[in-house]
Amino acid sequence: MAKTAAKATEADLARARRRIGPIERREMRLAFGMLSPTVAAVLLVVLIPVLANFWISVKPIELADLRAAKPLVRERVQGDVLQPGDAFAVRYRVRSSSPAAEVRDVEFTHSLPPGLTLTDDAGTCTLSGPDLRCNVGTLEPRARVDVNVTLTAGQAYFDAGSPDLRAADPLATGRSTNKLTSFEFTFDNFRKVFDAAEFWNVLWVSIVYTIGGTGGALLLGLFAAQLMMVAFPGRGIMRGLFLFPYVSPVIAVAFTWIFLLDPFSGTMNAILTKTGVTDANINFLGQRGIALWTVIAFEAWRYFPLAFLFILARMQSLSSDLNEAAEMDGATPFQKFWYISLPQLVGIISTLFLLRFIWTFNKFDDIFLLTGGASGTRTLTVNVYEQAFALSNLGAGAAVAVVIFFMLAVFLAFYFKFVPKEEGM
């Protein structure tokens, strides 16, 4: 009986919680109204591009197919008209704007000067008033069709001052299927991606680059934060200098590194050879194996200030009581850091690892500026660019982007399930 009464009480409480009064309804409507611009912005900026990328990834589409195919026409006048009754030929060349799509029901119109009559054609054109209308039919991909007509000039043509026939451009119309908006789907893009011999190597390079760049940035940030916890003259200036790699324009720092690491006239090679570390110059950005670790070092150096700021702020909020007690018990500085400070930094470090992992995995500009993806530094994001724009295979590029999306989704699921976090985070 007691259990039944307890269950009944819990059910009554649940029903009471579900009751919403008129004031709560107004507050709810107000909250939804205030959030609607944010929801709309998220849909426009985030959700729609993601859905569009998924749509393109299953379409047999190239860069030239973004616009529907349409007919293009140019005219060329042959012959001179000197007096009434003279005839001259006009050749219209019609072609499709797409190298892969046909255009159906193609026709074009051309407004002619007054006083011209159609005297000869192949039966495809008619002249109604000043408008010459020609029916071409279907244009195959890469096809070029010539329409030849002969026009005779009358007295009215000369009375009008012999106007130039090319004063008005011919206008062509036609129907075609836009691959981007059609309901033709295929998984060939994903088959091409996974069947490619270099895909798994590119995936491995992406993982090594991401983990190395992320881990390096966190270690450097942690080390810099430890240094800045010690009071010394000029500490404020040094903290500001530590931010320079992060706030400097990426193109400026990338080309600075290229100059410093140049195998022929770079400062780094000059130092290494003069000090006897190496006998020959090293091509840091052009030698397979070394180039990958060079771009990882650049990634760690450029983005460690972000980790430095967050870790330093967290370390400054830690209580000093435990450190003082450990110091009284004879703990070394390393023991105090390892057993007291580091466990309290796990939450912020794991959050930074999540953010930096996602950003580094999606990084494109650093590698593209330093190596262009050559010498074993080609990552998935560089592969997206090469497939979509260098090879004009937009569907394959979108397929690689979808693979990146799912890999990051798996990483996020793993992170939220297994990575420990601080209480309240």
The arrangement of strands across the sheet holding 116-120 comes to 71-78, 87-96, 144-153, 116-120
Reported confidence tier of residue 22, pLDDT bands at 50, 70, 90: confident
Same domain for 266 and 348, yes or no, is: yes
- Going by C-alpha positions, the residue among 90, 94, 136, 97 that lies closest to residue 116 is 90
Pick the range with the lowest mean pLDDT from 54-58, 165-169, 397-401. 165-169
Same domain for 124 and 250, yes or no, is: no
**For the segment 151-196, what is each residue's pLDDT rounded down to a tens digit?**
888 888 888 887 777 777 889 988 888 777 878 888 888 888 888 7
Alpha helices in 43-146 (DSSP H): 48-57
Which range of 214-218, 345-349, 370-374 scores highest in mean pLDDT? It is 214-218
- For residue 252, give its domain range: 190-418
Q: Which pLDDT does position 9 carry in this prediction?
A: 57
Q: Which pLDDT does position 10 carry in this prediction?
A: 58
Largest interatomic CA distance in the chain? 117
Which range of 93-102, 202-211, 391-400 scores highest in mean pLDDT? It is 202-211
Q: Which pLDDT does position 185 carry in this prediction?
A: 85
Q: Which pLDDT does position 20 carry in this prediction?
A: 63
Pick the range with the lowest mean pLDDT from 102-116, 213-227, 300-314. 102-116
Tokens at 248, concatenated: 């400097």
Is residue 425's pLDDT more than 60? no
Residue 53 lies in a domain: yes
The domain boundary residue, chosen from 148, 175, 202 = 175
Is residue 424's pLDDT more than 50? no
Same domain for 170 and 195, yes or no, is: no
CATH number at residue 76: 2.60.40.290
Tokens at 31, concatenated: 């909250």
Contacts of 374 (CB under 8 A, 6+ apart): 286, 291
Is residue 239's pLDDT more than 50? yes
Which range of 208-212, 232-236, 397-401 scores highest in mean pLDDT? It is 208-212
What is d(CA 379, CA 382) in angstroms, rounded to the nearest whole number? 5
Same domain for 73 and 43, yes or no, is: no
The domain boundary residue, chosen from 147, 175, 203 = 175
Backbone angles phi, psi at 152, to 5 degrees: -115, 135
Compare 242 and 64 and report the one with higher pLDDT: 242
Residue 103 lies in a domain: yes
Same domain for 251 and 130, yes or no, is: no
Is residue 73's pLDDT more than 50? yes
The helix (run of H) or strand (run of E) holding residue 351 is: helix 342-361
Same domain for 139 and 249, yes or no, is: no
Reported confidence tier of residue 418, pLDDT bands at 50, 70, 90: confident
Residue 99 lies in a domain: yes
Q: Report the pLDDT averaged over residues 358-385.
A: 91
Q: Which pLDDT does position 302 carry in this prediction?
A: 94
Q: Which pLDDT does position 12 carry in this prediction?
A: 56
Alpha helices in 229-289 (DSSP H): 235-242, 244-247, 250-260, 267-274
Q: Report the pLDDT averaged over residues 7-11.
A: 56
Same domain for 210 and 121, yes or no, is: no
Q: Which pLDDT does position 2 carry in this prediction?
A: 47
Domain count, the chain: 3
Same domain for 296 and 398, yes or no, is: yes
Compare 285 and 16 and report the one with higher pLDDT: 285
Same domain for 258 and 360, yes or no, is: yes
Reported confidence tier of residue 6, pLDDT bands at 50, 70, 90: low
Residue 183 lies in a domain: no
Same domain for 137 and 261, yes or no, is: no
Cα separations in angstroms, 227 against 91, 193, 224, 283, 347? 79, 46, 5, 33, 20
Read off the pTM. 0.76
Q: Report the pLDDT averaged over residues 18-44.
A: 78
Mean pLDDT of the chain: 85
Residue 401 lies in a domain: yes
Residue 122 lies in a domain: yes
Residue 235 lies in a domain: yes
CATH number at residue 399: 1.10.3720.10
**For the segment 261-319, what is each residue's pLDDT rounded down to a tens digit?**
998 888 999 999 988 888 888 999 999 989 999 999 999 999 999 999 999 998 888 87
- Going by C-alpha positions, the residue among 313, 316, 301, 314 that lies closest to residue 244 is 301
What is d(CA 371, CA 295) in angstroms, rounded to the nearest whole number? 8
Q: Report the pLDDT averaged over residues 133-158.
A: 87
Same domain for 46 and 150, yes or no, is: no
- Residue 286 CA, chain-centre distance (Å), reads 25
Same domain for 152 and 249, yes or no, is: no
What is d(CA 24, CA 10) in angstroms, rounded to the nearest whole number? 22
Residue 181 lies in a domain: no
